[in-house]
Amino acid sequence: MAFAALRRSLASKLAIGIGGLLALGLTTAQTLREAMPPASLPVARAEQPIEAGRWQLVIRNAGLDKAPRPDGSRGRPGMKALSVDLDLMNRSSESSNAFSRILSFAPPIAGLSPSPTAYLLRDGAILGALQPGLPERIRMVWDLPEAAAIPETIRVVVTGETFKPRDNLLAAPGWFNPKPIAAVTLPLRSESSGS
């Protein structure tokens, strides 16, 4: 009798262990697959709407200049500004200032500041947070040393996120898994004014 009970206990523990290992293996494989960059990044055009999870954006153009920024400031001495103009809308239900992470450059540009400053083009104010459902035309500006070499065209990579109603840690909703979703190649315009 005791032997049969011991055998049933061992069989159930073995089944639970195997099930747990299978679940862990499947979760790990899915995480690794989602983390891998796509084989080729979809190419978008300037003026084309791009759905990036929390954001909907339309990249308009890019420029390089030493003129005043939209708020009238001239930036730091010895620096010039690399800018990208875009229309941006927050598709989430909360105000967000996470838009500084949605654009990057490939290949990376040497000497470029790690984070841009975003300006509202309608009034030149620095954008602190974007309200839900309110599209804005903005200019994202990165500082760059005047002596830095810049190509005639740049490749802007758009990073998107996915919404999860419950995250794995706190079971709270949020935007997760940032990854490149599209690339836009733009010629760099040269301006004499910040408009």
At 26-60, the pLDDT tens digits run: 888 887 776 665 568 899 999 999 999 999 999 99
| pLDDT classification of 183: cutoffs 50, 70, 90 | very high
In a domain, 21, yes or no: yes
**pLDDT of res. 193:** 41
Same domain, 103 and 81: yes
**pLDDT of res. 65:** 84
In a domain, 195, yes or no: no
Is pLDDT of 195 > 60? no
At 80-133, the pLDDT tens digits run: 999 999 999 999 989 999 999 999 999 999 999 999 999 999 999 999 999 999
Token reading at 116: 């841009």
20-34, 69-83, 116-130, 175-189, range with the lowest pLDDT: 20-34
Same domain, 78 and 129: yes
**pLDDT of res. 57:** 97
Computed over every residue of the chain, the mean pLDDT equals 89
In a domain, 68, yes or no: yes
Same domain, 112 and 47: yes
Is pLDDT of 191 > 90? no
**pLDDT of res. 88:** 97
Could you write out the DSSP letters of every residue in 7-23? HHHHHHHHHHHHHHHHH
Same domain, 7 and 74: no
Same domain, 176 and 97: yes
- Of 74 and 188, the structure prediction assigns the larger pLDDT to 188
Measure Cα distances from 183 to 11, 108, 131 in Å: 53, 13, 25
| pLDDT classification of 194: cutoffs 50, 70, 90 | very low
Same domain, 157 and 118: yes
Same domain, 81 and 174: yes
Segments forming the whole domain that contains residue 16: 1-36
CA distance 58 to 46: 7
Same domain, 80 and 152: yes
Give the count of domains, the chain.
2
Same domain, 101 and 32: no
Radius of gyration of the chain (CA): 24
Same domain, 93 and 176: yes
User: What DSSP character marks residue 111?
Assistant: T
Cβ contacts of residue 44 below 8 Å, gap of 6+? 50, 59, 158, 182, 183, 184
